[in-house]
């Protein structure tokens, strides 16, 4: 199978048009004259985003473009902190097929948006490559992202994995955006069908460890967790803390996420989906994504060493069966960055070191997508990845 040509670039330039143009010129240079099949853009929300995309499209023309605002980016071992700039990658065409589509109205009906997105982005059976995956980028503040994934799964089926991330906003929680062509939109999602001659494998890893036996969530209201095992949820939660463990409340748009504890939502295959947890201003225990009533969970904990140790595993899993890969697309959570604190840049370095000479490229999200045949697929504080 022919190896995919890729090129990437970062820019910290302040002017959006210049930043977009210069990053695109540097990335396209690596394609050695091949027409881009797909352009990926992950950018700080500080930019005038239409102007940024205009600068990029001066270089890439009408090539399909998708992307999202972020809370930091990574590219070949280099780390851009929240607010610092834009990361851009161009992918050649062969040996993959790329088809893109955008949907709006996640707040109104995320599940229906997922179904619409899957129907539009998947080629007809006669045109479809033998294997494929969907890359998904979504407005993270637009509601039911697990429902969006479920809608895609309903149409695409278990044989089509989904990978991607929910848009960030340099740690603020005001608004997030996704990009499609020259469009900048919120309350929407962008999907990319990636058709492939070989199976594509979506992987994930988090490094969180369970701190006790499974527990039953007996009372929830949206993201507020009131009772676990019929007892006050906070009492049960604190019982799993060691005295030196940090618990910092989520106190507004720029506070970040610092709790070293989370919930592990137990899946049918025994794996755990991490659900970040925090204490709100009213003293309620909350999660960033709702837990289903009467679900089984475990209290999880993680420190910097555990979070960083998963880098090798994610890369090795992504490259398993993909000896011809050119890039590992990665989607890591801003919660991981906050927990790593002054060691944040190490994750990008470790991922690239494990993958070399394969490129690594991605962004820091407000939630990660990794839908496989065995899990429902919406994660927090996790790295998800796909090798192409």
Integer angstrom CA distances of residue 223 from 275, 280, 286, 314: 10, 11, 5, 29
pLDDT at 365 over 80: yes
Model confidence at 341, pLDDT cuts 50, 70, 90, reads confident
pLDDT digits (tens, 9 = 90+) for 10-43: 999 999 999 999 999 999 999 988 999 999 999 9
pLDDT digits (tens, 9 = 90+) for 73-105: 999 999 999 999 999 999 998 899 999 999 999
pLDDT at 243 over 70: no
To the nearest whole percent, how much of the chain has pLDDT over 70?
A: 95
* Mean pLDDT for the stretch of residues 139-152: 92
Highest mean pLDDT among 97-111, 143-157, 257-271, 281-295: 97-111
* Mean pLDDT for the stretch of residues 247-271: 66
Model confidence at 47, pLDDT cuts 50, 70, 90, reads very high
pLDDT at 282 over 90: no
Q: 93 CB contacts (<8 Å, ≥6 apart)?
A: 34, 35, 36, 37
Entry pTM: 0.93
To the nearest whole percent, how much of the chain has pLDDT over 90?
A: 74
pLDDT at 266 over 60: yes
* Mean pLDDT for the stretch of residues 307-324: 94
Cα within 13 Å of Cα(106), Cβ side = 29
Average pLDDT, the chain: 91
Residue 290, token pair as written in the block:
């709702």
Model confidence at 118, pLDDT cuts 50, 70, 90, reads very high
pLDDT at 116: 98
Model confidence at 256, pLDDT cuts 50, 70, 90, reads very low
pLDDT at 244: 54
Distance CA 74, CA 90 (A): 15
Longest distance between any two alpha carbons in the chain, whole Å:
64
pLDDT at 259: 67
| H/E run at residue 261 | strand 261-266
pLDDT at 252 over 50: no
pLDDT at 1: 67
Report helix, strand or coil for 212. Answer: coil
| H/E run at residue 115 | helix 106-121
pLDDT at 249: 45
């Amino acid at each position: 199978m022919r190896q995919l040509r890729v090129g990437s670039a970062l820019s910290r330039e302040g002017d959006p048009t210049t930043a977009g143009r210069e990053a695109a010129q540097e990335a396209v240079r690596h394609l050695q004259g091949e027409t881009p099949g797909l352009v990926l853009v992950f950018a700080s929300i500080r930019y005038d985003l239409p102007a940024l995309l205009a600068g990029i499209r001066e270089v890439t023309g009408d090539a399909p473009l998708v992307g999202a605002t972020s809370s930091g980016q990574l590219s070949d071992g280099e780390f851009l902190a929240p607010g610092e700039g834009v990361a851009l990658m161009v992918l050649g065409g062969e040996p993959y097929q790329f088809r893109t589509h955008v949907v709006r109205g996640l707040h109104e009906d995320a599940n229906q948006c997922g179904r619409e997105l899957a129907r539009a982005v998947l080629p007809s059976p006669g045109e479809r490559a033998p294997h494929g995956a969907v890359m998904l980028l979504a407005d993270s503040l637009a509601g039911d992202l697990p429902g969006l994934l479920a809608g895609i799964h309903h149409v695409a089926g278990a044989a089509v994995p989904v990978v991607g991330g929910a848009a960030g906003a340099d740690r603020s929680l005001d608004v997030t955006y996704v990009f499609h062509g020259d469009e900048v939109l919120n309350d929407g999602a962008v999907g990319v069908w990636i058709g492939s001659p070989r199976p594509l494998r979506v992987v994930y890893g988090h490094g969180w460890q369970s701190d006790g036996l499974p527990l039953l969530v007996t009372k929830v209201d949206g993201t507020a967790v009131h009772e676990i095992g019929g007892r006050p949820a906070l009492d049960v939660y604190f019982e799993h803390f060691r005295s030196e463990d940090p618990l910092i409340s989520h106190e507004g748009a720029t506070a970040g996420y610092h709790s070293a504890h989370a919930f592990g939502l137990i899946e049918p295959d025994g794996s755990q989906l991490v659900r970040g947890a925090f204490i709100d201003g009213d003293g309620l225990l909350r999660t960033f994504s709702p837990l289903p009533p009467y679900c089984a969970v475990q209290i999880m904990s993680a420190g910097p060493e555990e979070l960083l140790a998963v880098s090798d595993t994610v890369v090795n899993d992504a490259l398993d069966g993909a000896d011809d890969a050119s890039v590992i697309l990665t989607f890591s959570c801003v919660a991981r960055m906050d927990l790593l604190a002054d060691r944040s840049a190490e994750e990008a370095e470790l991922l690239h070191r494990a993958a070399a000479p394969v490129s690594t490229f991605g962004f820091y999200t407000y939630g990660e997508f990794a839908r496989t045949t065995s899990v429902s697929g919406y994660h927090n504080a996790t790295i998800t990845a796909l090798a192409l």
